[in-house]
Amino acid sequence: MGIIIENKKAKYDYDVLEKIEAGIELRGFEVKAIKNGKMGLVGSYVIIQNNQAWLLNADISPYQPKNTPTDYDSKRTRKLLLKKSEIKNLIGRIQEKGLTLVPFKVYTKGKTGKIKLEIALSRSRKKVDKRELIKKRDIEREIGRSIK
């Protein structure tokens, strides 16, 4: 499994409760672009409408800008491939107060190199929690330096 893109800002902004693997419905040139690392997950999120999961605001830059269709929108809404039972479970969990679905990383899986998206059921961190996280990292960093 090779990680292609990771949403580092989401790790800082959210507490992860549960992770789910989903496929993404893509066009051929989008697959090539993602495998070259031309995708951004910052600011993207997942919604569920009409019993289907959708990825919004994920930016996939064109693989070959001059060869891309003229009507191509790099931030178009993309369908996520999940089982009906997984979607029903997510619908029930999202209705809890303060929970959202956030894309965390994109990776390839298996010998065929299929592109998968790891989404996480998450709760947003408050400013106080973020400050504590920063302090904890700084302390661990200084301990590591003093040991060396």
If phi > 0 it is left, if psi is from -120 to 50 it is alpha, else beta; for residue 110 that is left
Q: What is the CA radius of gyration of the chain?
A: 18
Q: Residue 104: which domain range? A: 2-147
Closest by CA position to 63, among listed 37, 26, 25: 37
**pTM strictly above 0.85:** no
CA atoms within 13 A on the CB side of 93: 18
**Cβ distance 109 to 116 under 8 Å?**
yes
Within 8 A by CB and 6+ apart from 51, the residues are 84, 87, 88, 91
Q: How many residues make up the chain in this entry?
A: 148
pLDDT tens string 105-127: 999 988 878 899 999 998 887 77
Residue with tokens 């990292």: 137
| Number of domains, the chain | 1
- Here the tokens at position 135 are 């302090």
- CATH code where residue 84 lies: 2.40.280.10
pLDDT tens string 17-54: 889 999 999 888 888 888 888 888 888 889 999 999 99
Band (62; pLDDT cuts 50, 70, 90): confident
Please determine, for residue 71, whether its predicted confidence score (pLDDT) is greater than 90.
Answer: no
